Amino acid sequence: MSKLLVIGCGGVASVAIQKCCQNSGTFTELCIASRTVSKCDALKEKLAGKTTTKITTAQVDADNVEELKALINGYKPDAVLNVALPYQDLTIMDACLACGVDYIDTANYEPENTDDPAWRALYEKRCKEEGFTAYFDYSWQWAYREKFREAGLTAILGSGFDPGVTSVFSAYALKHYFDEIHTIDILDCNGGDHGYAFATNFNPEINLREVSANGSYWEDGHWVETKPMEIHRTYDFPQVGEKDMYLLHHEEIESLAKNIPGVKRIRFFMTFGQSYLTHMKCLENVGMLSTSPVMFEGCEIVPIQFLKALLPDPATLGPRTKGKTNIGCIFTGIKDGKEKTIYIYNVCDHQECYQEVGSQAISYTTGVPAMIGAALVVNGAWKKPGVFNLEEMDPDPFMDLLNQYGLPWVVDEAPATVE
Ligand code: NDP
């Protein structure tokens, strides 16, 4: 029995909330709060009569700590699930600390305005010290460890699929299959087709920032940075087939490098079709991916936000997207003195997700683990003071709930590896 406050009501939130309502024994009451309250009301209406979870809605600007505190103090939830945008991570963590409430999110902090001089100075220092140039990193949220520990509160960072399930797969592999893990290749394959020449599967601004950035991987204790899309491989994905994939920087590399003892190399690959890459390059070349405001006919606009307004809303891709995703990790290492390789992955079908919750598989594969992370905190299994990435927690209850709530996984003990 618990009360959950969900912040955000976009593609991922919609799935997470519907999954909370399937798990109404754990989530007896739920408040959906977001910037646009009409979206929260529409989802509440869609769920009316289908769940015993008692749902309320609220309007909140999650950039504003005082508004968040008023909402949290008024509703008195056991935990806050942040499925708004990474820009709001720190304000929501501050409000949770002030109100004495646990915190769960799906993506690490990055600033909305990357031209802010104060942020920029710290960012440039970090680029030099750490050796990667992504706008997002865990330092901001890891800095809350002591505060959460002292307050006796739990913060779980990155409870989506990647990061999230991939982090739990890593902990599970270490617990049950290896004495030492030497390499991790995280493979994110979307074999789905929505029929548009160009669209993103989750928030376009966050997605395009991530994909157009330099790639990087972790090797022998340091970062190796590459040009965007410089490293290309093909892989024959179970139930999807052969796909081109490209090495990207990804946030879980940073935490896995710290939390998986003795790991020598961690890489992340994502599949992209040629049409996506050509469109993205063209948009980048003409400045449409810029986050810096420009003046247009007397009005200040941010190019990437304007582009977002033109692109299909990822939440509307559900009915059109056909095919499957396959996301998982290939681990190599040692067990009982012998070399071992395993591949743990999940295959998710876009149309099956749409039939169940009205969303495509990218929102589904993120929303289900968001609900599971929140469930494990409120039911006490993952309740401990501090700020944690998922690989730091016991993977077993999470793996069980993945099977139960629609993301069954497979362990292949003789997989093909990536060069
Ligand atoms: P959407 O853009 O669909 O939804 C974001 C929601 O947050 C919207 O409802 C939006 O409100 C709300 N929001 C934005 N700003 C504020 C604010 N200041 N105050 C209150 N509400 C706000 O995004 P997605 O659902 O696609 O993504 C949600 C999160 O999931 C992101 O952080 C994303 O990075 C993460 N993600 C994680 C993945 C993983 O595997 N770990 C994979 C995919 C996504 P409005 O409707 O008014 O715009």
- pLDDT, tens digit, 9 for 90 and up, residues 34-57: 999 999 999 999 999 999 999 999
Distance CA 38, CA 124 (A): 40
Give the closest residue (by CA) to ligand 1 atom 14. 84
What's the confidence (pLDDT) of residue 270? 96
Average pLDDT over residues 328-347: 98
How confident is the model at residue 341, as a pLDDT? 98
Taking the C-alpha atoms of residue 138 and residue 271, their distance in angstroms, rounded to an integer, is 25
Question: How many angstroms does the Cα of residue 13 sit away from the middle of ligand 1?
Answer: 7
Residue 281, Cβ density class (10 Å: 0-12 exposed, 13-18 middle, ≥19 buried): middle
pLDDT band at 201 (very low <50, low <70, confident <90, very high): confident
Cα 203 to ligand 1 centre (Å): 7
Judging by beta carbons within 10 Å of its beta carbon (0-12, 13-18, 19+), is residue 17 exposed, middle or buried?
buried
Question: What is the distance of C-alpha 79 from the center of its chain?
Answer: 18
For the chain, domain boundaries? 2-157, 165-357
* Cβ neighbours, 10 Å, residue 21: 20
* Pocket test residue of 5, 6, 12, 313 for ligand 1, highest count of atoms within 8 A of CB: 12
User: pLDDT band at 210, cuts 50/70/90?
Assistant: confident
Contacts of 139 (CB under 8 A, 6+ apart): 126
Handedness of CA 194, 198, 204, 209 (dihedral sign): positive
**Ligand 1 center to residue 18 CA distance, Å?**
16
Give the pLDDT score at 391: 98
CB atoms within 10 A of CB 227: 8
**Amino acid identity of 52?**
T
- 413 class by beta-carbon count within 10 Å (0-12 exposed, 13-18 middle, 19+ buried): exposed
Q: Domain 165-357 maps to which CATH number in 3.40.1260.10, 3.30.950.10, 3.30.2350.10, 3.30.360.10? A: 3.30.360.10
Mutate to test the pocket of ligand 1, among 7, 32, 35 (most ligand atoms within 8 A of CB): 35
Distance, CA of 148 to chain centre: 21
CB 359 within 8 A of CB 8: no
161 alpha carbon to ligand 1 midpoint, in Å?
A: 15
Give mean pLDDT, residues 371-396: 98
Distance 233 CA to ligand 1 centre (A): 30
- Per-residue pLDDT, averaged over 193-199, amounts to 92
- pLDDT confidence bin for 204, thresholds 50/70/90: confident
* Mean predicted confidence (pLDDT) in 258-280: 95
Dump pLDDT digits (tens) for 81-109: 999 999 999 999 999 999 999 999 999 99
CATH number attached to the domain at 2-157: 3.40.50.720
| Secondary structure letter of residue 193 according to DSSP | B
Is the model's pLDDT at 212 over the cut of 90?
Answer: no
Handedness of CA 33, 36, 38, 44 (dihedral sign): negative
- Same fold yes or no, 2-157 and 165-357: no
pLDDT in tens, 298-325: 999 999 999 999 999 888 898 999 999 9
For ligand 1, the distance from its centroid to the CA atom of residue 91, given in whole angstroms, is 14
For tokens 């169940």, what's the residue? 356
Nearest to 14 by CA among 36, 32, 38, 37: 32
pLDDT, one tens digit per residue, over 58-73 is 999 999 999 999 999 9
Instruction: Check whether 207 has a pLDDT greater than 90.
Output: no
Q: Which residue has its alpha carbon closest to ligand 1 atom 1?
A: 10
Average pLDDT, the chain: 96
Per residue in 117-163, pLDDT (tens digit) is 999 999 999 999 999 999 999 999 999 999 999 999 999 999 999 99
Percent of the chain clearing pLDDT 70 (strictly above):
100
Residues with CB under 6 A from ligand 1: 8-13, 34-36, 39, 60-63, 83-86, 88, 106-107, 158, 160-164, 202-203, 206, 314-315, 366
